[in-house]
């Protein structure tokens, strides 16, 4: 039997790899609750501490609920939304930034294809503690190759489908991001497609993650990056209000 995602695996991983944040929020909430109890005879203090408690708890709870919806119940990892083609892809590449939740699932989705997995994680650039914890906890997919985003070890016009799932935003420098996208365009066959899935820096993600939405890029930024990278947007699919899938082909590719 292939890999199955466990119940609430997505949101559990978020808490597991970012436990320091949730521990801090829990401690702050506890101290505020104690303060409210101690200030019970002072309505103004109680109101101020109550608002502070709400400011701690509400964003935390909302972000976890949104993450549960996006990663655990929306069907994101079932891949039914992937572009349909006349023939199943024979050469599939999955590219990630150190945390791979998708390769085994893509293997199930395309059992007849050759799957290559590339990891562009760079400890000098990707310094988030959450990524280090995830890499320590997750066994890499067999055959995963470490790569540099601007130098993919793939032949020109050899790949039918490239998937970059919630990872491309980790390339923080615009020039490197454009070079990475050019490499994707280079390796696609004339009928090949690339799928870039991302949160966007928009109002929905601000409501879900508050200042955390600044880690993402706007739709305008992505469209400009695709153009610089020589990729043409074929279709944009809003998988949830918080997640967008960009279906792309090389600018000189074949439309279907």
The string of pLDDT tens digits covering residues 78-114 is: 999 998 877 899 999 999 999 999 999 999 999 999 9
Backbone dihedral angles phi then psi of residue 61, each to the nearest 5 degrees: -65, -45
The number of angstroms, rounded, from the C-alpha of 236 to the middle of its chain's C-alpha atoms is: 16
Whether 83 is in a domain gets the answer yes
45 and 80 share one domain: no
Whether 19 is in a domain gets the answer yes
Q: CB under 8 Å to 64, separation ≥6 — which residues?
A: 11, 14, 15
51 is in which domain, residue-wise?
A: 9-73
What is the reported pLDDT for 9?
Answer: 92
Higher-confidence position of 168 and 135 = 168
27 and 120 share one domain: no
Rg (Cα) of the chain, in Å, rounded? 21
Residue after which a domain boundary falls, among 73, 105, 123: 73
65 and 82 share one domain: no
Give percent of the chain with pLDDT exceeding 90.
83
Whether 60 is in a domain gets the answer yes
DSSP-assigned states of every residue in 157-223? T-EEEEEEES-GGG--SHHHHHHHHHHHHHHEEEEEEEEEEE-BSSHHHHHHHGGGGGGSB-HHHHH
16 and 92 share one domain: no
Q: How far are the Cα atoms of 63, 134, 222 from residue 26, in angstroms, in the given order?
A: 14, 22, 35
How many other CB atoms sit within 10 Å of the CB of residue 190? Answer: 12
Whether 154 is in a domain gets the answer yes
User: pLDDT-derived band of residue 248, with 50, 70 and 90 as boundaries?
Assistant: very high
Burial of 202 per CB tally in 10 Å (0-12, 13-18, 19+): middle
Whether 255 is in a domain gets the answer no
Whether 32 is in a domain gets the answer yes
Whether 108 is in a domain gets the answer yes
61 and 33 share one domain: yes
Whether 4 is in a domain gets the answer no
121 and 36 share one domain: no
The answer to whether the beta carbons of residues 168 and 233 sit under 8 Å apart is no
62 and 142 share one domain: no
What is the reported pLDDT for 131?
Answer: 85
24 and 60 share one domain: yes
56 and 103 share one domain: no
36 and 143 share one domain: no
Q: CB under 8 Å to 73, separation ≥6 — which residues?
A: none
Which range of 6-10, 41-45, 238-242 scores highest in mean pLDDT? It is 238-242
- Report the half-sphere exposure of 223 (CA within 13 A, side-chain side): 7
The residue behind tokens 């400890």 is 123
Q: CB under 8 Å to 42, separation ≥6 — which residues?
A: none
Using one digit for the tens of pLDDT, what is the confidence trace for 174-226?
Answer: 999 999 999 999 999 999 999 999 999 999 999 999 999 999 999 999 999 99
The residue behind tokens 């079932």 is 78
Closest CA to 207 of 20, 42, 69, 18: 69
235 and 122 share one domain: yes
Residue after which a domain boundary falls, among 73, 96, 117: 73
Closest CA to 77 of 208, 165, 1, 170: 165
User: pLDDT-derived band of residue 1, with 50, 70 and 90 as boundaries?
Assistant: very low
Closest CA to 247 of 82, 63, 4: 82
Residue after which a domain boundary falls, among 23, 54, 73: 73
Closest CA to 116 of 140, 87, 148, 145: 145
How many domains are contained in the chain? 2
237 and 133 share one domain: yes
């Amino acid at each position: 039997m292939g890999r199955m995602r466990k119940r609430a695996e997505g949101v559990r991983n978020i808490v597991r790899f970012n436990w320091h944040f949730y521990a801090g929020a829990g401690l702050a909430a506890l101290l505020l609750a104690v303060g409210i109890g101690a200030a019970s005879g002072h309505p103004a203090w109680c109101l101020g501490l109550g608002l502070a408690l709400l400011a701690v708890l509400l964003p935390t709870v909302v972000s976890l609920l949104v993450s549960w919806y996006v990663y655990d119940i929306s069907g994101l990892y079932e891949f039914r939304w992937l572009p349909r083609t006349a023939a199943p892809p024979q050469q599939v590449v999955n590219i990630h930034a150190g945390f791979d939740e998708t390769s085994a699932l893509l293997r199930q989705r395309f059992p007849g294809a050759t799957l290559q997995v590339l990891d562009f994680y760079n400890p000098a650039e990707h310094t988030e503690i959450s990524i280090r914890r995830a890499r320590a906890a997750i066994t890499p997919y067999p055959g995963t190759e470490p790569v540099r985003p601007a130098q993919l070890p793939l032949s020109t016009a050899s790949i039918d489908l490239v998937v970059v799932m919630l990872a491309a935003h980790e390339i923080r420098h615009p020039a490197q991001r454009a070079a990475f996208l050019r490499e994707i365009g280079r390796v696609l066959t004339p009928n090949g497609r690339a799928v870039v899935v991302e949160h966007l820096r928009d109002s929905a993600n601000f409501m879900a993650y508050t200042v955390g939405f600044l880690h993402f890029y706007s739709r305008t930024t992505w469209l400009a990056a695709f153009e610089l990278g020589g990729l043409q947007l074929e279709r944009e699919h809003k998988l949830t209000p918080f997640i967008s899938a960009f279906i792309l082909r090389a600018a000189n590719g074949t439309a279907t």
